[in-house]
Amino acid sequence: MALGSIKNLHREREAFLARALFGTFFCLVLTGILIARLFDLQVLQSEYFQTRANDNRMRVMPVAPVRGLIYDRHGALLAQNKPAFMLEVVPEQVENMDALLGQLSKVVQLTDQDISRFKDRVRKTPRYRPVPLRNNLTMEELARYELDRYAFRGADVSAGLTRNYPLGASGAHIVGYVGGISEKELSEAPENTYEGLSLVGKTGVEKSHEDTLRGKSGAKVIEANAYGRPLRELDYRRGYPGRNLYLSIDSKVQLVAEQALGELDGAVVAIDPRSGEVLALVSKPGFDPHLFIEGIDAKTYKALSGDPKRPLFNRALQGTYPPGSTVKPAMAIAGLEYGVVTPEDGVYCRGEMTLPGSSRKYRCHKRSGHGFQDMVGGVMRSCDIYFYELAIKLGIDRMHDSMTRLGLGHKTEVDLPLENAGLFPSREWKLRRRKEQWYPGETLSIGIGQGYTLTTPLQLAQMTARIAMRGKGFKPHVVYATQDAITREVTRVPTEPLEPIELKDNHNWQRVIDAMVDVAHAPGGTATRIGRDSPYRIAAKTGTAQVAAMRQDEKKARSLESTPLHLRDHALFVAFAPAEDPKIAVAVIAEHAGHGGAVAAPIGRQVMDMYLLGEVRYNPGAPAPAASVAPVAADGHVHSEDLED
């Protein structure tokens, strides 16, 4: 047609048809590729992508259970949950952490400890999880935060519950405290146990009854959009609140025991001998359990744990002390049981004695001697010579058997953590641990509760309770009942009877108890100052445990003032009352406080008064601190009958 070429219209048409067919083929091949890929995505991998789509939209939000409350036996609150506002940060959403912390510190108070603890936790937590920065925001801080909240990307305030202990330091050693869950606690617990929870029991009942108190976490599955905003709830799994605990502790008795100890360090344990219920358990000095809830900072913790008075140490069941003369009633029972003495058999006390073939002198605490003492006198006046002779007659093996049956040297298995077993030595123990044989002189020391013997205040209370019950006994326990938080149904924790101690002659219990009653009520008894005005009859034994051994050349007892505090004797006291129908057994230890009869006995009396009478009738004035104790010691001698043991 034009431009000098001849078009062959027919051939062009044929050629076009071929190309059109090829084009069709091309389209079909490409469509085939699309279909193959779609088949791969929508059929072969469909399940995988469905999972991915659900992972995108569904978030499982744990719903933390409410922790059980802790009450004392009369329903007074010992541990409760308090609403708290917590400032949390999700590290994943934060662009510049330091900048954010800087901004936040302008509206809420952030200490260096808060920040270092926070950074520590950030390292240990998955980045999409909120990390607490500050707990217990004040209303003012909350208001300041809310005003500017959009400036704090990645930070959020959540309302939750925190733990509160109305008794503060007074209950700290029984109730314990909760604290942030550690990596280790998390990995040791079954999976999902702590979903949504940030606190776990660290000591005391909070720890030993953690499983009861915790409850069961619930969960809700929510649908969230790409920006993480929750849109609707897809599923809800109910949790269950933790059970409430009723402790056998009587907080009035507890407070009296605490006040009676005053500034002294030591422990008081009171048990109901008829059931093993622990009525009071005090260890001093105490500490404020609230310090631990938010996660204690390193400095405060160092100060607490490095304190030479060891406030975190639960003396009542971790502390081990030589029992001193408080073992003497049990010694007397052993002597009668094995028939090595009769109640009338006596010993003449000259103030000291020696063993055959040795020049070593074994002294009585009364240097001038007690004169002739039978069993009652030995117990009542706490004559060491009587018990030296008794120890020689019994020998270490029988002493060990007898004392072990009364609970010394092994754990009472109370439902509190960290209990110490103490120690009651034996030949076998010495050979094994010290690689030495047993020397006869050691038997004498053990006979008056010195030497290797170590006991916890709880063991002493338990031993006293078993004597009071004439050999019957119950495992000591702190939790008396549990309660379902929803149905309010109360379940008693059953008492656990121990195998009773049967004596060949069960009258021997009464003989020793009578001697203990004389300690408090007969003239010459070492605890008559608390027995004189008592409206009920007390069976008691005082003790003064030596911390430093007396040198052989020391003729006279050292006065309290001249002894450095950490070498001064511990004052001990055990008792139960009423003697004819025991309802309470107590053990008191006042560290480095001097004489049991003067210092420890009044504390025990006040505790028993409170429990039995509902008020403290005994009033000697406040128990004197260690330094001003022992008014009779002006001349350096301790010789008052009243004070000694």
What residues act catalytically?
325
The footprint of other proteins on residues 193-232 (CB under 8 A) is: 223-227, 231
In whole angstroms, how close is the CB of 154 to other proteins at the nearest point?
16
Q: Report the C-alpha gap between 343 and 321 in whole angstroms.
A: 29
In whole angstroms, how close is the CB of 235 to other proteins at the nearest point?
15
In whole angstroms, how close is the CB of 21 to other proteins at the nearest point?
9
Report the half-sphere exposure of 524 (CA within 13 A, side-chain side).
12
Residues 6+ apart with CB under 8 A from 441: 355, 358, 360, 362
Q: Report the C-alpha gap between 488 and 626 in whole angstroms.
A: 48
Q: Does 35 bind other proteins (CB under 8 A)?
A: yes
Specify the stretch interacting with other proteins by CB under 8 A; choose among 46-54, 190-198, 247-255, 372-380: 46-54
What's the one-letter identity of residue 262? G
Residue in the structure block whose two tokens are 């009520």:
521
**478 touches 415 (CB < 8 A):** yes
Question: How many chain residues are in contact with other proteins, going by CB under 8 A?
Answer: 46
Q: Does 20 bind other proteins (CB under 8 A)?
A: yes
Residue 621's H or E segment, with its range, is none
Q: Does 30 bind other proteins (CB under 8 A)?
A: yes
Q: Does 49 bind other proteins (CB under 8 A)?
A: yes
Task: Name which position in 10, 34, 150, 183 contacts other proteins (CB under 8 A).
Answer: 34
Show the site string, 50-89: x = touches other proteins by CB under 8 A, - = not: x-xxx-xx--------------------------------
What angle is formed at CA 109 by the lines to CA 105 and CA 112, rounded to 5 degrees?
A: 80
In whole angstroms, how close is the CB of 10 to other proteins at the nearest point?
12
What's the one-letter identity of residue 131? V
Q: What is the CA radius of gyration of the chain?
A: 37
**SS3 state at 187:** helix
H runs (alpha helix) in 58-138 = 97-107, 112-124
What count of other Cβ atoms lies within 10 Å of the Cβ of residue 44?
A: 9
Question: Which of 225, 85, 101 has the alpha carbon at shortest distance from 153?
Answer: 101
For the chain, the residue count is 645
The footprint of other proteins on residues 398-457 (CB under 8 A) is: none
**471 touches 509 (CB < 8 A):** yes
**151 touches 102 (CB < 8 A):** no
Task: Name which position in 17, 151, 298, 613 contacts other proteins (CB under 8 A).
Answer: 17
- Written as six digits, the tokens of 499 are 């195998």
Q: Does 31 bind other proteins (CB under 8 A)?
A: yes
In whole angstroms, how close is the CB of 16 to other proteins at the nearest point?
5
Q: Does 7 bind other proteins (CB under 8 A)?
A: yes
Q: Does 619 bind other proteins (CB under 8 A)?
A: no
Closer residue to other proteins, CB minimum distance, 57 or 430? 57
In whole angstroms, how close is the CB of 456 to other proteins at the nearest point?
59
Q: Does 12 bind other proteins (CB under 8 A)?
A: yes
- Written as six digits, the tokens of 164 are 């509160």
Give whole-number Cα distances, 565 to 129, 265, 559, 562, in Å.
52, 12, 12, 9
Show the site string, 127-156: x = touches other proteins by CB under 8 A, - = not: ------------------------------
> What secondary structure does DSSP assign to 132-180, as a single string?
EEESS--HHHHHHHHHTGGGSTTEEEEEEEEEE-TTGGGGHHHH--EEE
Closer residue to other proteins, CB minimum distance, 54 or 116? 54
Q: Does 42 bind other proteins (CB under 8 A)?
A: yes
Give whole-number Cα distances, 40 to 53, 119, 202, in Å.
17, 45, 54
In whole angstroms, how close is the CB of 18 to other proteins at the nearest point?
9
Closer residue to other proteins, CB minimum distance, 3 or 139? 3
Closer residue to other proteins, CB minimum distance, 49 or 439? 49
Q: Does 16 bind other proteins (CB under 8 A)?
A: yes
Q: Does 37 bind other proteins (CB under 8 A)?
A: yes
Task: Name which position in 6, 139, 486, 634 contacts other proteins (CB under 8 A).
Answer: 6
In whole angstroms, how close is the CB of 133 to other proteins at the nearest point?
25
Specify the stretch interacting with other proteins by CB under 8 A; choose among 6-14, 452-460, 497-505, 526-534: 6-14
Report the half-sphere exposure of 403 (CA within 13 A, side-chain side).
31
**363 touches 351 (CB < 8 A):** yes
- Written as six digits, the tokens of 88 are 């949390």
In whole angstroms, how close is the CB of 28 to other proteins at the nearest point?
8
Closer residue to other proteins, CB minimum distance, 223 or 288? 223
Closer residue to other proteins, CB minimum distance, 45 or 354? 45
Closer residue to other proteins, CB minimum distance, 58 or 550? 58
**458 touches 269 (CB < 8 A):** yes
> What secondary structure does DSSP assign to 446-466, as a single string?
HHTT-TT-BB-HHHHHHHHHH
**386 touches 366 (CB < 8 A):** no
Specify the stretch interacting with other proteins by CB under 8 A; choose among 32-40, 270-278, 480-488, 526-534: 32-40
Specify the stretch interacting with other proteins by CB under 8 A; choose among 42-50, 305-313, 541-549, 601-609: 42-50
Closer residue to other proteins, CB minimum distance, 7 or 350? 7
In whole angstroms, how close is the CB of 126 to other proteins at the nearest point?
16
H runs (alpha helix) in 297-359 = 298-306, 328-337
Closer residue to other proteins, CB minimum distance, 227 or 504? 227
Q: Report the C-alpha gap between 217 and 194 in whole angstroms.
A: 7
Closer residue to other proteins, CB minimum distance, 96 or 552? 96
Q: Interface residues with other proteins (CB under 8 A)?
A: 1-3, 5-8, 12-13, 15-17, 19-20, 23-24, 26-28, 30-31, 33-35, 37-39, 41-43, 45-46, 48-50, 52-54, 56-57, 223-227, 231
